[in-house]
Amino acid sequence: MSAWFDKKIYFDNGSTSWPKAPGVGEAMASFLEQGAFNINRGNYEGAYEVESIVLDTRDKLARLFGCSDSRRVIFTPGITWSLNMFIKGLLLPGDHVIVSGLEHNAVMRPLEQMKEVGVSYDIAPVDESGRLDSEELKKLIKANTKAVIMTQASNVCGTLLPIKDIGKICRERDIFFAVDSAQSAGSIPIEMEEWGIDFLAFTGHKGLLGPQGIGGFLVSEALDKKLKPIIAGGTGSVSDSLIQPKSLPDKYESGTMNLPGIVGLHAALSYLEDIGIDRLQAKKMAVTSHFLSQLNSFSNIRIVGECDVNNRTAVVSVDFGKVDNALCAFTLEQEFGIMTRVGLHCAPTAHRSLHTFPQGTVRFSFGAQNTVEEADRCIEGVQSILERYENLDI
Amino acid sequence: MRKKELKLVITFHTTADAMAMEKACKASNVPGRIIPVPRAISAGCGLSWCADLSARDEITAMMAQAGIKEEEIHECMV
């Protein structure tokens, strides 16, 4: 892997970050090799040690996301699972939901499923750069609007949505506010309680620099009173009862947890606390800024989303116009060793909003380990591809 | 075999609460330790905090300060 990877440039951190934070692999291997004890089930010192790491991971996540009680940090296999737990655990026939025009299928597909049982939704429009006007969203609110679900940053173009404004609007109207932090957690600040977020879905393997397969959500006290756990089973607590416990976090955490994943996430969060997410984000945005300035010199492509570093994350999407995007991505990888993601990014709603449906885009997403030199190599590749293919009818 | 003594045994709704208790007690030097819930007491998460009876006030004050909620507080032979 390493010899092969030496020649490659990884620009697909929007899919999953790589490399992971220092210490993640070691922590997971050590856990598996030296005592992969279960929690909530074993009464011995080794199990207590693991339980203590799990608690510490909850505490770290609560601090990171501005939540005052770590019992309200729930682990799940990932953000898609979390969003399903919100959508299917809260919404009832007759309820109405508002989403942004930048949502991922992790939101849209469960909502489409819920349409079959009488839930309806509206999409708050965004402009061609992905900007959302909160006044437009307000116009969609109905008497039966129960929730607003919104990504904080687009996984297609990196544009940020006005989460604070929407949180305020929701709080004033007693509407539950759910935020998808897939592309923002670990990169930009999130203050769940201060911003009026009732449900914050997160994943561990992107900006948080942890392993795949671990994520979760944070739930507000008000929402917890209404949210039903769609998965029930053994929790190791109240074992004399057949009724799912109401205490947090057990209410939403039935079954054996992904402890290697939590241990890995714990190591990643420790690294982020030590180094600071601001510092990592500054590195990512420096590469993004350089890349965008170089891309802006090409007249024959379209940068989808914001064309500068304001109001965005380190995710850049490009529509190569006359040149097929898939061919561009393939050539970038095969000839220049640059790994990107091409297509619709599991977000056809976002691509429709950004006028890049059905052709999609080539997405370049940077991590803190990426460099300006790598961005320059990529630009050379783009230039070469454009010169070669532009005048061909392909 | 160790002779049983009357002890303070605090049970919790969840393991997360029990571990939060252990963390807070260690941080504040509050006496006691985690033990499996004795069979005389039912339910809970399976873990409890066991300490001398004399530490009751100190422990409950710390719990109130740390926002840790018990399921029940017992005095039983452990």
Q: Alpha carbon A146 to chain centroid distance? A: 23
CA of A67 vs chain B CAs: smallest distance (Å)? 14
Per-residue confidence (pLDDT) for residue A38, from 0 to 100: 78
Partner residue facing B20 (CB), from A41, A48, A55: A55
By the CB < 8 Å criterion, does B44 face chain A? yes
Per-residue confidence (pLDDT) for residue A42, from 0 to 100: 66
Classified as helix, coil or strand, A59 is: helix
Residue A294 dihedral angles phi and psi, to the nearest 5° = -70, -40
What is the share, in percent, of chain A residues with pLDDT greater than 70? 97
* A236: chain B residues, CB-CB within 8 Å: 15, 45-46
**Interface confidence (ipTM) of the complex:** 0.75
- The β-bridge relationship of strands A9-10 and A176-180 is unpaired
Selected for mutation to probe chain A from B45, B48, B49 (highest A CB count within 10 Å) is B45
Per-residue confidence (pLDDT) for residue B1, from 0 to 100: 64
Report CB contact under 8 Å: A250, B14: yes
pLDDT at B53 over 80: yes
Hey, CA dihedral for B36, B37, B38, B42, is it positive or negative?
A: negative
* Numbered residues of chain A with Cβ closer than 8 Å to any chain B Cβ: 39-41, 43, 48, 51-52, 54-56, 58, 69-71, 235-241, 245, 247-250
Per-residue confidence (pLDDT) for residue A256, from 0 to 100: 93
Q: How many Cα neighbours within 13 Å face the side chain of A126?
A: 30
pLDDT at A2 over 60: no
By the CB < 8 Å criterion, does B43 face chain A? yes
The predicted model scores a pTM of 0.93
User: Residue A366: which residues within 8 A CB-CB, separation 6 or more?
Assistant: A11, A13, A284, A287, A288, A291, A314, A315, A316, A375
Residue A347's closest CA among A159, A189, A195?
A159
- The β-bridge relationship of strands B6-11 and A361-365 is unpaired
pLDDT at A205 over 70: yes
CA of B34 vs chain A CAs: smallest distance (Å)? 9
pLDDT tens across A217-261, in order?
Answer: 999 999 999 999 999 999 988 888 999 999 999 999 999 999 999
